[in-house]
Amino acid sequence: MLSGEEFGRLFKTFERTAFRLETLAEYDVEEEQEEIARFLAGEDMGPEWDDNPWVRSMTDKGKSVARVHVLRSPLTDYLRYELSAYPGNVKAGESIGIIDLAEQMVSGLPDHDFWLFDDRGVYRMHYTPEGRFVGAELLPASRLAEYRGYRDVALTHAVPFTTYWERQH
């Protein structure tokens, strides 16, 4: 199981593509607590929200970064916060899709998060029941086809983030 720092190195070493499936309604990320409080208070979120430098660090090198977030509206405070940051991710080059299970039923997806790097390495994300990251488990190569299939199902059913977000506002 890779820890946060070890797992973070994968974002520097992947060569072409990184895909994430997100499934939780709330993530407990210690580094986000102050930012969430500012968001909920209606404060300015700063320039990084307009053009995410972490995403840009990958896309500026010609790498593809994509995610599909499976959620159910109405949105929790955490999801409102997270999705409000997505326009800056999109501007930085990340492709984001949303599957809102209140709007459509989608079968054939796992009930957990994962990252798929370069179609060669799949990491199942493990969290506590409260959404705190525990670690990333490298799955055996024999599971790659299964997770590529999950990615394809997610991408097929996802609504582009900008379309989804316009409907919410």
Range of the domain at 92: 4-168
Pair of tokens at residue 56: 């840009």
As for how many domains the chain has, the answer is 1
| The amino acid at 86 | Y
Computed on alpha carbons and rounded to an integer, the radius of gyration of the chain in Å comes to 16
Residue 46, pLDDT > 90, answer no
Distance from C-alpha of 141 to C-alpha of 111, rounded to nearest angstrom: 20
Res. 3 pLDDT band, cuts 50 70 90: confident
Q: What average pLDDT score do residues 16-36 get? A: 93
Distance from C-alpha of 82 to C-alpha of 156, rounded to nearest angstrom: 22
pLDDT at position 68: 98
* Average pLDDT of the chain to the nearest whole number: 95
Residue 20: closest CA among 28, 11, 29, 12? 11
pLDDT tens readout for residues 146-164: 999 999 999 999 999 999 9
Res. 49 pLDDT band, cuts 50 70 90: confident
CATH assignment at residue 147: 3.30.870.10
